[in-house]
A = this chain, B = another copy of it.
Amino acid sequence: MTSAGVIVEYNPFHNGHLHHLNETKKAANADVIVAVMSGSFLQRGEPALVDKWTRTQMALKNGIDLVVELPYVYATQKAEIFAKGAISILNSLGVDYVCFGSESGDIEEFQETASFIEMHEKDYNERIKYYMGQGNSYPKASSLAFESLEGHAHVLDLSQPNNILGYHYVKAIQAQNALIEPLTILRTKAGYHDQDFVDKRIASATGIRRELFKGSSLDQIQAYVPEPTYFELTNYQRTYDSFQGWHNLYHLLRYKLLTSSNVHLSSIYEAEEGLENRLATMAKQAQTFQSFMELVKTKRYTWTRIQRLALHILTQTSKNDMLPALENKDAPYVRILGMTKAGRSFLNERKNSLPVPLVSNINQFDHPFLTVERRASHVYALGYSGFHQEVFLQKEHKSVPIMID
Q: Which residues of A contact B (CB under 8 A)?
A: 251-252, 254-256, 258-261, 284, 287-288, 315-316, 375, 378-379, 382, 386-387, 389-390, 393
The answer to whether B379 touches A259, judged by C-beta atoms less than 8 angstroms apart, is: yes
Beyond A260-B316, A316-B260, whether A255 also contacts B287 by CB under 8 A is no
Q: Could you give 20 example pairs across A and B, Cβ below 8 Å?
A: A251-B251, A251-B252, A251-B382, A252-B252, A252-B255, A254-B382, A255-B255, A255-B256, A258-B375, A258-B378, A258-B382, A259-B316, A259-B378, A259-B379, A261-B316, A284-B378, A284-B393, A287-B387, A287-B389, A287-B390
* A202 CA to B288 CA, complexed, in Å: 44
The answer to whether A255 touches B379, judged by C-beta atoms less than 8 angstroms apart, is: yes
* A375 CA to B256 CA, complexed, in Å: 11
* A316 CA to B261 CA, complexed, in Å: 9
Q: In angstroms, how far is the closest chain B Cβ from the Cβ of A240? A: 16
Beyond A259-B375, A316-B259, A378-B259, whether A287 also contacts B254 by CB under 8 A is no
Q: In angstroms, how far is the closest chain B Cβ from the Cβ of A26? A: 45
The answer to whether A315 touches B259, judged by C-beta atoms less than 8 angstroms apart, is: yes
B residues less than 8 Å from A259 (CB atoms): 315-316, 375, 378-379
* A375 CA to B387 CA, complexed, in Å: 30
> Which of chain B's residues has its CB closest to A317's CB?
B259
Which 9 A-B pairs rank lowest in CB-CB distance, beginning with the nearest?
A259-B316, A258-B378, A287-B386, A252-B255, A255-B382, A259-B375, A259-B379, A259-B315, A251-B382
Copy number of this protein in the oligomer? 2
B residues less than 8 Å from A251 (CB atoms): 251-252, 382
> Which of chain B's residues has its CB closest to A255's CB?
B252
* A375 CA to B257 CA, complexed, in Å: 10
Max chain B C-beta neighbours (<10 A), residue from A255, A287, A389: A255
Q: In angstroms, how far is the closest chain B Cβ from the Cβ of A13? A: 29
B residues less than 8 Å from A390 (CB atoms): 287
B residues less than 8 Å from A284 (CB atoms): 378, 393
Q: In angstroms, how far is the closest chain B Cβ from the Cβ of A271? A: 16
* A378 CA to B378 CA, complexed, in Å: 24
* A172 CA to B259 CA, complexed, in Å: 32
Max chain B C-beta neighbours (<10 A), residue from A252, A284, A387, A390: A252
B residues less than 8 Å from A393 (CB atoms): 284
Given contacts A254-B382, A259-B379, A284-B378, 6 further A-B contacts (CB under 8 A): A251-B252, A255-B255, A255-B256, A258-B378, A258-B382, A260-B316
B residues less than 8 Å from A261 (CB atoms): 316
B residues less than 8 Å from A258 (CB atoms): 375, 378-379, 382
Q: In angstroms, how far is the closest chain B Cβ from the Cβ of A32? A: 37
Q: In angstroms, how far is the closest chain B Cβ from the Cβ of A239? A: 17
* A317 CA to B331 CA, complexed, in Å: 38
> Which of chain B's residues has its CB closest to A260's CB?
B316
Max chain B C-beta neighbours (<10 A), residue from A251, A379, A386: A251
* A387 CA to B389 CA, complexed, in Å: 27
* A393 CA to B284 CA, complexed, in Å: 9
> Which of chain B's residues has its CB closest to A314's CB?
B259
Q: In angstroms, how far is the closest chain B Cβ from the Cβ of A30? A: 40
Q: In angstroms, how far is the closest chain B Cβ from the Cβ of A363? A: 13
* A156 CA to B393 CA, complexed, in Å: 53
